[in-house]
Chains A and B, each alone.
Chain A
Amino acid sequence: MDAITVINAGINGVVIGMLLALPALAITLVFGIARFPNAASGDYMTLGAYAAVFTQALAGGSMLAGGLAAVAATTVVSLFFYAWVFRPLESRSNVSRLIASIGVAFALRSTITFFAGQDQYTFDLPLTRAWNFGGVRILPTDVAIVGIAVAALALVFALMHMTPTGRRMRAVADNPELAAASGIRGRRVMVTLWSIAGAYCGLGGVLLGVKAVVIPELGWELLMPMFAAVILGGIGNPVGAIVGIMVFSIAQEVASLVVGPAYKIVFAFAVLLCVLLLRPQGIFGRPMAAR
């Protein structure tokens, strides 16, 4: 198993990790600020992918129109479900909100398949050949995907650290009671949060659909790895989520060279187990409770 194969596997892991970093970020933000795991994140991704496919078909092949429509659609739907489902349940335990989010996920997926059917869709993009740098293969599409993901992540970090809204969101994530006592309007923070969560899941879904195929289970199947990555990086920590998903994805791809494809998921979860055994709060997390 030579270096070139490992590098190629690593590059693959980086690309997948980068595009999954967007919904992983959404999950960790919702967990940090709204304080529950949102199982509908996967199906927001699916919605984004489907919205982009249909908009691209209507807009005569424009991927940009598809992407923008996807982000817009998922933002609107995310805000809709916040207003209808998650806000009324704000005072309830996070388990009830988790279960409600599973219900939202099913409802969303069933609505999508009611209109779009169960069959797969693909984006209308020309197939390109990879650039070959002496054995190391890099695909132009992958470069675009990573570029878009990095830009989106930069945008959200700028928002979180350089704007007042971002500061308020971080305050609520840190200590909701103190934030409320300091006069931070919870409602506006939540609206911003759910808009970001929806938009980033939608964008992640589009990028995933470009890389793979658009099927109804697109997002739901990835919930487990994404939650695992978020926990690995420390729940509630945006940098942690990104580091977690990158570690997870790269580990998976490189592992399949060593242990075979059948065990690559096992290997990735084994990495997660080891890290959590040594550091239960995740790589960047703060200890939540101590005996």
Chain B
Amino acid sequence: MTQPTHLSRRDFLAASAALAAAGAVPGLAWAQAQAAPPFRLGALNSITGVGGPYGPAMLEAIKIAIAEVNAAGGAAGRQIQLYAEDDQTKPDAAVLAVKKLIEINKAEAVVGIWPSSVGLAAMPITNAAGLITMNTCGAPEMLTENKQGLAWMFQASNAVFGRAFAEVARQRGFKRPAVMAFNNSTFVGQANYFRDAWREKGGDVSAFTVYEPNQTTYRTELNKVLASKPDVISLSAYRPDATIILKEWFQTGQDCKFIMPGWTANEDLVKALGKEATEGIISISNVAAHEHQAYKRFAAEFRKRTKREPDIFASQSYDMVITLALAIEAAGARADVAAINGKIRAVTGAGGGEKVSGFAQGQALLRAGKPVDYDGASSRLDFGKQGETVPDFGVFDIRDGKLVLNEVIAGKV
């Protein structure tokens, strides 16, 4: 005799199997919609501290780039989620911030690092966590310590800066340079390469002094340098110590010219010291690629939001996010960080490709299977072996309180 329980149990099993399958279908569709998780981007900017004049603009540029990427549907369908932290331009605060970004926010990349002290402090931590980092650091150690190839330098190394200083000094006919540098990784590198580049072409520097940060006065150090009677001093300094040194130099009345990095020798320095003490200072900086379409579009948006022109650091920060987004697009929605990292050179022209100047344009080409070459707002973004780029150099003179462009030296890796 048929036993209703067995039959009904079989039926029950069949029915529940059918129900489960039916239940899984919306589950599958749901999983599909979940297939593109957001990309968690950490921004570690110098909002306060010595980098304070540049950090907020860099963060703004990062936000502009993220808005551009998310408006195009995200990179490979992944919306970018921003986690912003302030490193106070200090390595100890930076380490706490980057640990928070990694452990709590689970960031997959950290961009916008400005000073080398922070970059060098954060690199072991981000390398251990396998994160991509993009920065504007210049210390030569950033290149040599970049052993896993996860760090990308968007600003010329201070080795290149130091050599550029020496080249300009020779060009202008100086014969007895002296070197003064702030004691940190950024500036000691710059000073060493100036001295080495100068020695290469004959002659030596008359004095080489590395001074301590946060002092009230630098008169003793300055007197030692001035006693060697230099005709030009390569002064690698931040604005507070540069203000003190230049003030004390002016008070000695000794004739001497100065070559300084552009992030210090700008119109804010003139405001602090007045026109007389800053007349004739040679200011050398990386300049944004003003003729690139990417710069023009980015600058227009930046001007709309902040009513100011973007500087090189903001342009570099914008490029960081766009480059990363294009790499994610090229690697695909399921790619891990290492795969994305592997695509960064590909989307910036390592294998040829059509020139693009924005994310949407690059996304369309990549989805059509074509290679792209992103020429950024800051430079052509040709990355060297150690992840370095060399934007163009602008050589300015401070004349009557204004920065006057003298020449542009093309940057080459």
Contacts and interface: CB of A to CB of B under 8 A. Distances in A.
Given A118-B48, A256-B221, A137 B252 contact: yes
A120 B210 contact: no
Given A8-B220, A221-B214, A262-B210, A129 B251 contact: yes
Contacts of A275: none
Q: Most chain-A Cβ atoms within 10 A of its Cβ — which of B49, B247, B268, B273?
A: B247
B210 A212 contact: no
Contacts of B25: none
Contacts of B253: 129-130, 132
B223 A120 contact: no
B27 interface: no
B167 interface: no
A16 B210 contact: no
A139 B250 CA distance: 11
Contact of A8 (B219, B244, B274): B219
Contacts of B252: 129-130, 137
Contacts of B183: 261-262
A9 B216 contact: no
Given A127-B274, A213-B272, A264-B212, A12 B239 contact: no
Interface string B272-291: 11101100000000000000
A274 B49 CA distance: 35
Contacts of B268: 119
Nearest to A11: B219
B52 interface: yes
A56 to B, nearest CB: 14
B227 interface: yes
B223 A217 contact: no
B83 interface: no
Interface in B12-56: 48-49, 52-53
B96 to A, nearest CB: 16
Contacts of A122: 243, 272-273
B251 A213 contact: no
B221 A127 contact: no
A128 interface: yes
B251 A120 contact: no
A261 B220 CA distance: 9
Q: Most chain-B Cβ atoms within 10 A of its Cβ — which of A128, A129, A211, A261?
A: A261
Report the contact-size class of chain B (Cβ under 8 Å from the partner).
Answer: 20 to 34
Given A113-B48, A118-B52, A12 B251 contact: no
Interface string B195-211: 00000000000000111
Contacts of A120: 239-240, 243, 272
A96 interface: no
Interface string A232-264: 000000000000000000000100110011101
Contacts of B212: 261-262, 264-265
B68 to A, nearest CB: 29
A128 B274 CA distance: 12
B253 to A, nearest CB: 5
Contacts of B334: none
A153 interface: no
Contacts of B217: 12, 15-16, 211-212
Contact of B251 (A15, A127, A265): A127
Contacts of B305: none
Contacts of B223: 5, 8-9, 137
A117 B52 contact: yes
Contacts of A253: 219-220
A5 B227 contact: yes
A4 to B, nearest CB: 9
Contact of B52 (A119, A127, A260): A119
Interface string A122-136: 100001111010000
A268 to B, nearest CB: 11
Interface string A145-179: 00000000000000000000000000000000000
Contacts of B272: 120, 122, 213
A34 interface: no
Contacts of A117: 52
B170 interface: no
A222 interface: yes
B53 A212 contact: no
Interface string B216-257: 110111011001000000000001100110010011110000
A222 B216 CA distance: 9
A16 B220 contact: no
Contacts of B244: 212-213
A65 to B, nearest CB: 21
B221 to A, nearest CB: 5
B221 A139 contact: no
A254 to B, nearest CB: 8
A110 to B, nearest CB: 10
Contacts of B247: 127
Given A120-B240, A221-B214, A127 B220 contact: no
7 A-B pairs with the lowest CB-CB distances in the bound complex, closest first: A118-B52, A221-B214, A261-B211, A9-B220, A118-B48, A129-B253, A122-B272
18 contacts: A5-B227, A12-B217, A113-B48, A119-B268, A120-B240, A127-B250, A127-B274, A127-B276, A128-B251, A211-B216, A213-B243, A217-B214, A261-B183, A261-B210, A261-B212, A261-B221, A262-B212, A264-B212
Given A15-B217, A127-B276, A264-B212, 14 more contacts: A5-B227, A12-B217, A12-B219, A113-B48, A118-B49, A127-B251, A130-B251, A211-B217, A256-B221, A261-B183, A261-B221, A262-B210, A262-B212, A265-B212
Interface of A: 5, 8-9, 12, 15-16, 113, 117-120, 122, 127-130, 132, 137, 139, 208, 211-213, 215, 217, 221-222, 253, 256-257, 260-262, 264-265
